[in-house]
Amino acid sequence: MRIEKVHDNLWEIPRTGGMLVPGRVYADEKMLGRIKEDKALEQVVNVAHLPGIQKYSIAMPDIHWGYGFPIGGVAGMDAEEGVISPGGVGYDINCGVRLMTTKLSEKDVRLRLKELVTELYKRVPSGAGMSGDFKLSKDDYREIFSKGSRWAVERGYGREDDLVKTEDNGHFPGADPKAVSRRAFKRGMEQIGTLGSGNHFVEVDIVDKLFDPGVAEVFGLKPGSVCVLIHSGSRGFGHQICTDYIDTMISYMRREGLNLPDKQLACAHIHSSEAKGYLAAFSAAVNYAWTNRQIIMHSVREAFYETFGITERELGSSLVYDVSHNIAKFEEHRVNGDVKRICVHRKGATRAFPKGHKHIPEVYRTVGQPVFIPGDMGRGSYVLVGTEASMEETFGTCCHGAGRMLSRRKALKEARGRNIIEELGEKGVIIMAKGKRTVAEEMPEAYKDAEDVCDVVHNAGIARKVAKLRPIGVIKG
Amino acid sequence: MLELSVMSYELLDHTADLCIRVTGGSFSELLRNASLAMMEQITDRDKVKPSAREVFEVAGETKEELLVKLLSEILYLHETSRLVFKDIRLDVSNEKKAVAELSGEVYNPGKHELVNDIKAVTYHNLKIENVNDKFTADIIFDI
- On chain B, the residues whose CB falls within 8 A of the CB of A89 are none
Please indicate, yes or no, if residue A34 is contained in any of the structural domains.
yes
Please indicate, yes or no, if residue A84 is contained in any of the structural domains.
no
Are the beta carbons of B16 and A71 separated by less than 8 Å? Answer: yes
Name the residue among A129, A239, A409 with its Cβ closest to that of B120.
A239
Please give the torsion angle defined by the CA atoms of residues B115, B118, B121 and B122, in that order, rounded to the nearest 10 degrees: -100
Sign of CA dihedral B86, B40, A70, A474: positive
Please indicate, yes or no, if residue A161 is contained in any of the structural domains.
yes
Instruction: Kindly tell me if the per-residue pLDDT of A132 is higher than 70.
Output: no
- The per-residue pLDDT for A437 is 83
- Per-residue pLDDT band at B123 (split at 50, 70, 90): very high
Name the residue among B76, B119, B123 with its Cβ closest to that of A91.
B119
**Percent of chain A whose pLDDT exceeds 90:** 90
pLDDT 10s digits, A402-427 = 988 888 888 999 999 999 999 999 99
Please indicate, yes or no, if residue A253 is contained in any of the structural domains.
yes
Instruction: Kindly tell me if the per-residue pLDDT of A152 is higher than 50.
Output: yes
Domain of A34, CATH number, reads 3.90.1860.10
CA B23 from centroid of its chain's CA atoms: 12
In a mutational test of the B interface, the residue from A38, A263, A265 whose CB has the highest number of chain B CBs within 10 Å is A263
Please indicate, yes or no, if residue A91 is contained in any of the structural domains.
no
* Minimal-distance CA residue of chain A relative to B82: A129
Looking at the complex, does the CB of residue A475 fall below 8 Å from at least one CB of chain B? no
> Which domain range does residue A372 map to?
4-77+96-476
Please indicate, yes or no, if residue A90 is contained in any of the structural domains.
no
Of the listed ranges A187-191, A349-353, A365-369, A462-466, the least confidently predicted one is A187-191
Instruction: Kindly tell me if the per-residue pLDDT of A126 is higher than 90.
Output: no
* Minimal-distance CA residue of chain B relative to A263: B123
Please indicate, yes or no, if residue A87 is contained in any of the structural domains.
no
> Do A383 and A216 form a contact (C-beta atoms < 8 A)?
yes
Are the beta carbons of A408 and B18 separated by less than 8 Å? Answer: yes
Catalytic sites of A, residue numbers: 400
Report, as an integer, the average pLDDT of B26-52. Answer: 96
pLDDT 10s digits, A365-398 = 999 999 999 999 989 999 999 999 999 999 999 9
Domain count, chain A: 1
Secondary structure letter of residue B47 according to DSSP: G
- Per-residue pLDDT band at A7 (split at 50, 70, 90): very high
pLDDT 10s digits, A177-230 = 999 999 999 999 889 999 998 889 999 999 999 999 999 999 999 999 999 999
Instruction: Kindly tell me if the per-residue pLDDT of A165 is higher than 60.
Output: yes
The domains of chain B, with CATH numbers, are 4-142 (3.55.10.10)
Three-state SS string over chain A comes to CCCEEEECCEEEECCCCCCCCCEEEECCHHHHHHHCCCCHHHHHHHHCCCCCECCCEEEEEEEEEEECEEEEEEEEEECCCCEECHHHHCCCCCCEEEEEEEEEEHHHHHCCHHHHHHHHHHHCCCCCCCCCCCCCCHHHHHHHHHHCHHHHHHCCCCCHHHHHCEHHHHCCCCCCHHHCCHHHHHHHCCCCCCCCCCCCEEEEEEEEEECCHHHHHHHCCCCCEEEEEEEECCHHHHHHHHHHHHHHHHHHHHHHCCCCCCHHHCCEECCCHHHHHHHHHHHHHHHHHHHHHHHHHHHHHHHHHHHHCCCHHHHCCEEEEEEECEEEEEEEEEECCEEEEEEEEEECCEECCECCCCCCCHHHCCCECEEEECCCCCCCEEEEEECHHHHHHCCCEECCCCCECCCHHHHHHHHCCCCHHHHHHHCCCEEEECCHHHHHHCCHHHECCHHHHHHHHHHHCCEEEEEEEEEEEEEEC
Please indicate, yes or no, if residue A41 is contained in any of the structural domains.
yes
Instruction: Kindly tell me if the per-residue pLDDT of A246 is higher than 70.
Output: yes
For the beta carbon of residue B8, count every other beta carbon within 10 angstroms.
Answer: 18
Report, as an integer, the average pLDDT of A109-127. Answer: 94
